[in-house]
Amino acid sequence: MQIGIIGYPFSGKTTLFETITAIHQENIAQQKKDENRAMIKVPDERLDILTEIFQPKRKVNATIEVIDFAGFQPSEQKGNIFTPQFIAKIKTMDALLHVVRGFDDPNVPAFSDSIDMVRDIRNLEDEFIFADLIFVENRIEKLQKEMLKQKNREEAEKEIKEMQLWKDALENNTPLREVDFDENSMKYIVNYQPLSVKPLLIALNLSENMVANQEQIVNEIRAKFPSEKIAILPFFAKIELELSQLDKEEKQIFMDEYGLVGSPLDRLIQNAYNLLGLQSFLTVGEDETRSWTIKKGMTAQQAAGVIHTDFYNKFIRAEVVHSDHLIQEGTIAKCREKGYLRLEGKEYIVKDGDILNIRHS
Ligand SMILES: Nc1nc2c(ncn2[C@@H]2O[C@H](COP(=O)(O)OP(=O)(O)O)[C@@H](O)[C@H]2O)c(=O)[nH]1
Ligand SMILES: [Mg+2]
């Protein structure tokens, strides 16, 4: 899974990237000029405990990739912030993380010389819609030309209808993520990856003096963007970055002082998983303990396919025990004794925290 970090210059994108990846400026400087990339391990306490129990050769966390894209250049003119190159890059992301400038600091220049989070979020929403609208209009024009040449007439006609549906929504200022698409539309969505359909994580980058009011601030902005496909989460990038460089005890002292709760990475992952409908399952053994990311609602056979396509094709059964039970009992044998270990068929819907052992031919 890939999450793309976007936002206005000086909103704190790179600071947030450093905070969640634990890669710091001196390392980043050697990377590509226009973007920073990192694979981050998805923290999972269950995996840590199971690793203690099984003492395998290695522990492998599920990973997600985060990419910190260089900021687009704000412009006085509306609707031309994103260059085609920028759009091409962010199109392939599974979700976008929009970092919004909420902190006030006279030493750090701000877009439009003022702090206005609602304005910045709106501007970006408009920009997504605008980019999609241009795409849709070009597409319709192209398809109409094809129709004139009697090329793929039937297919073109079907697609024009679909594009017209998108166009109507976009002209109404409705992001495509709010449209209730049917199966037929999904094919086009997957192919074209319009920007306004992407799940959106909005990271409000707040000052340390806003820690106490964070809930109220989030609620106020949430009320303006009430979509289920948008998550709004507070960050305090600058202090959270400083804290990430301290040892555990020191960190706790400062967190208490500031009134901060939880780690920024956990906050991001939890929200991303919720928003994208993701969950984890685990595998254990002498060689490795490992966590895997899948969509909620996936079957045992589909989950097996995430491990290896062969496991999907040659799937027979899955031995399933929930990690809570294995952690409680300590061994597979005990779980079997107590009836916690089950054999499930290919249609079994995997639950978050299930441990699977795939039997295949
Ligand atoms: N006061 C304050 N400064 C911040 C905060 N987050 C980032 N900055 C500073 O703002 C500047 C721009 O941050 P950066 O992460 O490079 O922004 P980017 O252009 O979006 O990547 C840097 O000097 C950061 O140290 C914050 O929460 N509070
Ligand atoms: Mg940056």
Cβ(71) to ligand 1 under 6 A?
A: yes
Q: What's the pLDDT score for residue 84?
A: 87
Q: How many domains does the chain have?
A: 3
Q: Which residues, other chains included, contact 281 with Cβ-Cβ below 8 Å and sequence gap of 6+?
A: 291, 292, 294, 303, 350, 351, 352, 353, 354, 355, 356
Is residue 49 situated within a structural domain?
A: no
> Do 22 and 111 reside in the same domain of the chain?
yes
State the pTM of this model: 0.91
Q: Are 282 and 323 in contact (CB under 8 A)?
A: yes
**In the listed set 213, 242, 275, which residue is the last one of a domain according to the structure?**
275
Cβ(11) to ligand 1 under 6 A?
A: yes
**Ramachandran angles phi, psi of 320, nearest 5°:** -125, 130
Q: What's the pLDDT score for residue 25?
A: 60
Q: Are 96 and 200 in contact (CB under 8 A)?
A: yes
Rg (CA), the chain: 23
Is residue 18 situated within a structural domain?
A: yes
Cβ(13) to ligand 1 under 6 A?
A: yes
Among 11, 238, 244, 245, say which to mutate for ligand 1: greatest number of ligand atoms within 8 Å of CB: 238
What is the C-alpha to C-alpha distance for residues 80 and 83, in angstroms, rounded to an integer? 7
The CA-CA-CA angle for residues 261, 254, 218, to 5°, reads: 35
> Do 187 and 207 reside in the same domain of the chain?
no
What is the C-alpha to C-alpha distance for residues 16 and 205, in angstroms, rounded to an integer? 8
**In the listed set 196, 212, 232, which residue is the last one of a domain according to the structure?**
196
> Do 96 and 30 reside in the same domain of the chain?
yes
Distance 160 CA to ligand 1 centre (A): 44
Distance 1 CA to ligand 2 centre (A): 21
Cβ(101) to ligand 1 under 6 A?
A: no
> Do 17 and 110 reside in the same domain of the chain?
yes
Report the amino acid identity of residue 302: Q
H or E stretch at 334: helix 332-337
Is residue 155 situated within a structural domain?
A: yes
Is residue 215 situated within a structural domain?
A: yes
Structural domain that includes position 151: 127-196
> Do 76 and 184 reside in the same domain of the chain?
no
Beta strand ranges found along the chain (DSSP E): 2-6, 35-41, 58-60, 63-69, 95-101, 200-205, 230-235, 278-283, 288-295, 315-322, 342-344, 354-360
> Do 88 and 71 reside in the same domain of the chain?
yes
Q: What is the mean pLDDT of each run of 10 residues along the chain (361 residues)?
A: 93 93 63 80 95 96 92 60 88 96 92 88 94 96 89 88 97 96 93 96 96 96 96 95 90 91 92 96 96 97 96 97 97 96 97 97 93
Kindly report, residue by residue over 283-342, the tens digit of the pLDDT.
999 999 999 999 999 999 999 999 999 999 999 999 999 999 999 999 999 999 999 999
Q: What's the pLDDT score for residue 31?
A: 58
The tokens for 129 are: 């819609």
User: Quick one: which of 322, 231, 313, 333 has its CA closest to 282?
Assistant: 322
Cβ(241) to ligand 1 under 6 A?
A: no
3-state secondary structure (DSSP) of residue 31: coil
Q: What is the dihedral of CA 225, 227, 231, 234, to 10 degrees?
A: 20
Is residue 47 situated within a structural domain?
A: no
CATH number of 96's domain: 3.40.50.300
What is the C-alpha to C-alpha distance for residues 46 and 41, in angstroms, rounded to an integer? 14
Residue 250's CB is within 10 A of a number of other CB atoms, namely 11
Ligand nearest to the CA of 108: 1
3-state secondary structure (DSSP) of residue 320: strand
Cβ(237) to ligand 1 under 6 A?
A: yes
> Do 250 and 312 reside in the same domain of the chain?
no
3-state secondary structure (DSSP) of residue 72: coil
> Do 351 and 228 reside in the same domain of the chain?
no
Closest residue by CA, ligand 1 atom 26: 238
What sign results for the dihedral spanned by CA atoms 235, 237, 242, 247?
Answer: positive
The DSSP result for 303-319, as a single string, is HHHHH-HHHHHTEEEEE
Q: What's the pLDDT score for residue 27?
A: 56
